[in-house]
Amino acid sequence: NIEHEIVNYCEKDRYASYAYSKLFRLSEAKNLWDVNWVDGTHFKDIDLVTYGFPCTDISLAGSCKGIIKGETKSGLLFESLRIIEEARPKVAIAENVRNLVSKMFISDFHNLINELDRLGFNSYWKILSGINYNSAHSRERVFIVSIRKDIDNGSFKFKEGNDNLVTLESITESFVDEKYYCKDNSYLKNFLNKVNKRICKDKEPSKFGLVRVGTIKNPHMLQMNRRVFSELGASPTLVTGSDSIPKVIQCKVRKLTPLECWRLVGFTSEDYWIVRKALEEQFYNGKDCTDTQMYKMAGNSIVIQVAESIIESLKGILY
């Protein structure tokens, strides 16, 4: 409930761009599309820049090629830094995968912090997970809050999370279309006869809040996509592909629906339907064909409750 104005946004994906404009009631003319061509000198009076850069080359699920300017997708970070240098916002907030601070990429991370320091920003960072901020989504991400040195009063601290586990039960739909259920009869015979809800209730959540109850025996699926989780725990991290959606067990095994994935990252059902209907009308002639795009957007999202906690911690600095 903070009064604000979205000056511009930058999104190359046409579906995500249209969804963003409809969700926040913006003209798509505010989309600058390609970050490589954004002139940050046009934004001298802005307060906040939020930025990310593709995790493709630093994620464990990606290529791990690293952050190389002009060579890797993750190298787009340098365009964000250029814009920050040109625009000089009060605050800049970045988010990326936990692997950014792993041994493999810690030197890249330190280079990023040092560059922000050179640009005149004090940076504060922490690994935050949705499950500690009243979300059923166990999604660990590195957040970097950079405050311009001339306005940094030293008061910023990341808001402490809590240990109150929110389970998948809180976001699952009561009635789910059969298309989301596992139809592999051999799997159902071998797995479901051995695992039931009574057994699931006896399992304790892991330190990440997850209750894993089995694995799908399918050599054509990635290991991370074969895991089955109970609705009595949290959800593992969402990724962009619909084949990668976490599986849950409710007497029968199914993947999460697009609506459930949107709820997992903190959007309301109303938000979901605003976007879904808009995409159907704009791209699919009113037909119900939006699952792939809705899954992708949820997988690319941050957990809203975590973002809100960061903004709350900036009171007295940003607003």
- Domains of the chain, residue spans: 14-161+302-313, 168-300
Q: What is the pLDDT of residue 239?
A: 67
Q: What is the pLDDT of residue 139?
A: 92
Q: What is the pLDDT of residue 181?
A: 82
φ/ψ (deg, to 5) at 122: -90, 130
Q: What CATH superfamily classification does 14-161+302-313 receive?
A: Vaccinia Virus protein VP39 (3.40.50.150)
Q: What is the pLDDT of residue 44?
A: 84
Same fold, 14-161+302-313 and 168-300: no
Q: What is the pLDDT of residue 196?
A: 45
How many angstroms separate the CA atoms of 296 and 294, rounded?
Answer: 5
Contact assessment for residue 14 and residue 28, using Cβ atoms and an 8 Å cutoff: no
Q: At 268, list the tokens.
A: 């309301």
How many angstroms separate the CA atoms of 177 and 242, rounded?
Answer: 15
Chunked in runs of 10, what are the mean pLDDT values of the chain (319 residues)?
93 98 97 96 94 87 82 92 98 96 94 98 98 94 98 94 89 90 61 46 58 56 60 67 59 84 97 98 96 95 97 95
The alpha carbon dihedral of 148, 151, 154, 159 has a sign of negative
- Assign domain 168-300 to a CATH class: alpha beta
Contact assessment for residue 195 and residue 182, using Cβ atoms and an 8 Å cutoff: no
The residues annotated with a catalytic role in the active site are 55
Q: What is the pLDDT of residue 200?
A: 47
Could you tell me which residues come within 8 angstroms of residue 76 by beta carbon, excluding any fewer than 6 positions away? 35, 36, 53, 54
Q: What is the pLDDT of residue 16?
A: 98
